[in-house]
Structure 1
Amino acid sequence: MHRLSTFVLGFTILAFALPAKAQESTRPYSQCLAVAQTLPGASYANLTPAELEVQLDRIAEGSGEVEIMFAGHSTYVITTPAGISIATDYNGWSGRVTVPDIVTMNKAHSSHFTLSPDERIGEVLRGWNFDGTPADHDVVVEDVYIRNVTTDIRNFGAMEPDGNSIFIFEVADLCIGHLGHLHHPLEDRHFAEIGRLDIVMVPVDGGLTLSHVAMTGIAQRLQSSILLPMHRRGAPLSSFIEMMGDKFTTDFVNADSFTVSARSLPRRPTILVLKGV
C-alpha cells in the first residue's frame, strides 16, 4: 500500500459558497461547497470569529484516513475511516470488487452500471433516472455524505439530458469527486454545484468521453490536490499528462491503492497513476 508523504497544510477560509441545491434545509451540510470567489452567482456565508475558529480546528485535526483502490476501468473503491466501502461506476462483473456497502453508476455504457446489483449492497445510487428526470442524491451512511451533479450524455449523436452524474464523496474532511462518463465541458453552474474537490477521478480516454484538451481544461479549473486517471482507452496517458502542464507533478505508484487524509494532501497538485491504470 502506498502512503502519500505527509505535508502540513496551511488553510485560509475565505467564505463558503452555498448554491441553491445545498441551501435546502432537508439536505446535509456540505463542507465541499467552499471558497468559490471565482464562481458567478455564488453566495457567501458570514462566519463569526468563533465559527471560523471551529472550522479551522476541524480542518487541522482531520478525521482519519481514506483508502482509495483502483479496481478497473472507471471503478475506484473508496473505504472510509468507519469502514464503509464505495465502488464507483459499478457494473457488477468487472474489476476486483467484492460486495461494497455503496455503489454509484452511470448510464453511458454497460461497463458503468448494472440493472441487477447484488442485493447485499446497501445503497445503489444511479446517476440517472429511468423517467428522464435528473437524479438527485443526498445520502449519508456512517461517516460519508454522497451527493451528485448531473450532466448530459451522447445518445446516437444527440445529447440526452441528465444521463451522467458527477458524484461527490465527502468524508474525513476530504472532498472526493468522480466525473463519470463526462461528455461535455462543464458550465459555471456545474463548478458551483461541485464545489471544492481535493481528489478527482478523471476519464483520460481522449475521445470516448471528452478530448484531452477539454478534459484537461476541466481538471485544471478544479485545481484538485490529487488527480486520479481512469477510463484509459484510446489516446495515450502521456498526452493527457503533458497537457496538464508543469503545475502538476506525476507520481507512478507500484501499488493499486493508497491512503490519504486531509493533512497528507500534497502541496503541489499531483497526477497519481496507480498500478493497473
Structure 2
Amino acid sequence: MSNEEQIEYWNDDAGTQWAAHQVALDEMLAPATAVLMEAAAIQSGERVLDVGCGTGQTSLMASAEGGDVTGVDISRPMLDLARSRGGDSVEFQLEDAATFRSGQQYDLVISRFGVMFFANPQAAFANIRSNLKPGGRMAFVCWQSPKVNAWVMVPMAALKPLLPEAPEVDPHDPGPFAFADPERLQGILEAAGFEEVAITPHGLDVCLSQSGGVEEAVKFSSRIGPASRALKEADETLHPQLLEALRGALAPHDKDGRVALPGGIWVVTARVSG
C-alpha cells in the first residue's frame, strides 16, 4: 500500500471515525500512552516532533511536560480535532512524516502507533532522523504480533468463519502490525541511521469498553480497528450475524461492564550520533 493510499484511507471514514471516538480511543490507549511518555522522558524546553499525532493527546501531554511540540499527521479530520483541543500550545501540521522536513531540528521524536504505515519505512525513518539534531533521540510504541494481541485476535477469530476467505497479505505491509518482528524493525532503524536501538516488550490490557459492557465493546469494535474493516467490506446481509458473533466472543471478557483483553506492544528507543 502506497503512502497515497494511506493518505486516502485516513482522510476518509477511518479518520472521521477516529475523531468521533477520540475519548474512547484515548482511554483505550492510555496504558500505552503512559509507557511512551515514560520512555520519552521529555525535558522542559525540548523541541518535540510527534509523528502520527492523530487527535493530539500525546502532543498535548508532551507540551504539558514542557516540550515545544509540533504534531504531524496525514489525517485532516483528526488534525481538525487536535487543533480544537490544543489551542496555541501545540503546532499541528497536515504533513506526511515520511517526507516532512522542518526548518529547525528537534531534540526528540515521539509516536504512539503512528509509524507502522509507511510504504518505505527505511526511507521514512531516514527522513525522520534528518529532523533530529545531533544526539537527538526517538521514542515510540508499536504493536507486537497479533498472536499476543487478543483484543484483535478474539474478534477476528469470531468473524472469520462467516466471511469469505481473505487473500494472503504480506505481514510487512503498512498496517498496525507491520513492525511485529523486532529483528526486522531493528534492522530498519539501524539502516536509517539510528543508533542505540532498544526494543522492549510490554504487556497491557486493551479496554474496549470502560463501563458499557458488551454492547459498547461491540459498537466500538465495529467502528474502530481490524474488525471494523472486516465489517465494512462484508455484505450488509451478513452484518447481523457478524455483530452477534462479536457479542459472543467479547461476552466472556465483560467484568462488571468493563471489557478488556490482553495486548502487547514494543517500546522502542533510539538515538542519532552526536
TM-score if structure 2 supplies the norm length? 0.33
Which structure has more helix as a fraction of its residues?
Answer: 2
Which structure has more strand as a fraction of its residues?
Answer: 1
TM-score if structure 1 supplies the norm length? 0.33
